[in-house]
């Protein structure tokens, strides 16, 4: 058992402190705790399981190499997520899958050009579509987002980080995070609205 941590208790700060002192077992415990979340986040951003596996490995390797640089100004998990997002975006840059939006492009936080008519969405899509079909539809819609929007959406709506934590991870202002999240949600609604209208059904609100 790791010193200072009970069987049913997870003390992130204690584990980090032990890992910084060379405790491999403590770092392994951190990996076990967070690897699923990091893989899920990387997969949502890269939309590729092989790339997500690479990001997972690279994230923990970099975290281990730079443990001494972690000062505890944020949660260790927040610091880890920031590394994972950076690695995921680097993967996307290398693949050049989306040339339409620069990952470094600043975003205007004004929303006057985002006004769209959103259809009324039925509250129970599972009456018509299976969970697997819904998941597939949503994954394709998320995949179609520009990487900069996808990263914010994944952190806020999938990983459920706060706006402030997302801003720290992506090195953005809070207004910029809110702007990108709104744009991502509007784009998803627009795409899902078009999809279900083509299918001859009402549109459903999953978010």
Give percent above pLDDT 70 in the chain. Answer: 70
Among 48, 53, 47, 13, CA closest to 33: 13
The answer to whether residue 57 scores a pLDDT higher than 50 is yes
Residue bearing the bigger pLDDT, 98 or 138: 138
Range 44-53 average pLDDT: 88
Q: On the CB side of 194, how many CA atoms lie within 13 Å of its CA?
A: 7
The answer to whether residue 1 scores a pLDDT higher than 80 is no
pLDDT tier for residue 83 given thresholds of 50, 70 and 90:
very high
Architecture of domain 12-95: Orthogonal Bundle (1.10)
Residues carrying CATH 1.10.1740.10, the chain: 12-95
pLDDT tier for residue 206 given thresholds of 50, 70 and 90:
very low
| pLDDT tens for each residue of 111-151 | 333 333 333 334 444 444 556 666 777 778 888 888 888 89
Q: How far apart are CA 52 and CA 90, in angstroms?
A: 12
With beta carbons less than 8 A apart as the criterion, state whether 25 and 50 touch. no
pLDDT tier for residue 97 given thresholds of 50, 70 and 90:
very low
Domain 112-204 in this protein, CATH class: mainly alpha
The answer to whether residue 159 scores a pLDDT higher than 80 is yes
Q: How far apart are CA 179 and CA 167, in angstroms?
A: 11
Residues carrying CATH 1.10.10.10, the chain: 112-204
Among 80, 78, 95, CA closest to 31: 80
With beta carbons less than 8 A apart as the criterion, state whether 201 and 143 touch. no
Q: How far apart are CA 194 and CA 108, in angstroms?
A: 26
With beta carbons less than 8 A apart as the criterion, state whether 150 and 184 touch. yes
Range 24-52 average pLDDT: 90
Range 13-17 average pLDDT: 92
Q: How far apart are CA 57 and CA 202, in angstroms?
A: 42
Q: How far apart are CA 86 and CA 88, in angstroms?
A: 5
* pLDDT score at 81: 92
| pLDDT tens for each residue of 58-70 | 999 899 988 988 9
Provide the 3-class DSSP secondary structure of residue 81: helix
């Amino acid at each position: 058992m790791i010193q200072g941590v009970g069987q049913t208790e997870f003390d992130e700060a204690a584990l980090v402190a032990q890992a910084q002192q060379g405790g491999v077992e403590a770092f392994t415990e951190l990996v076990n705790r967070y690897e699923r979340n990091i893989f899920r986040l990387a997969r949502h951003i890269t939309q590729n399981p092989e790339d997500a596996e690479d990001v997972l490995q690279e994230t923990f390797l970099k975290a281990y190499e730079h443990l001494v640089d972690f000062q505890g100004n944020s949660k260790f998990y927040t610091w880890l997520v920031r590394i994972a997002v950076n690695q995921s975006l680097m993967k996307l840059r290398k693949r050049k899958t989306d040339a339409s939006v620069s990952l470094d492009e600043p975003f205007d936080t004004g929303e006057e050009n985002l006004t769209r008519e959103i259809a009324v969405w039925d509250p129970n899509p599972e009456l018509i579509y299976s969970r697997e079909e819904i998941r597939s539809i949503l994954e394709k819609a998320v995949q179609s987002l520009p990487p900069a929007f996808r990263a914010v959406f994944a952190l806020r709506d999938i990983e459920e980080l706060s706006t402030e934590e997302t801003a720290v991870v992506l090195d953005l202002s809070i207004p910029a995070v809110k702007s990108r999240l709104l744009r991502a949600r509007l784009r998803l609604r627009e795409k899902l609205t078009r999809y279900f209208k083509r299918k001859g059904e009402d549109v459903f609100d999953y978010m």
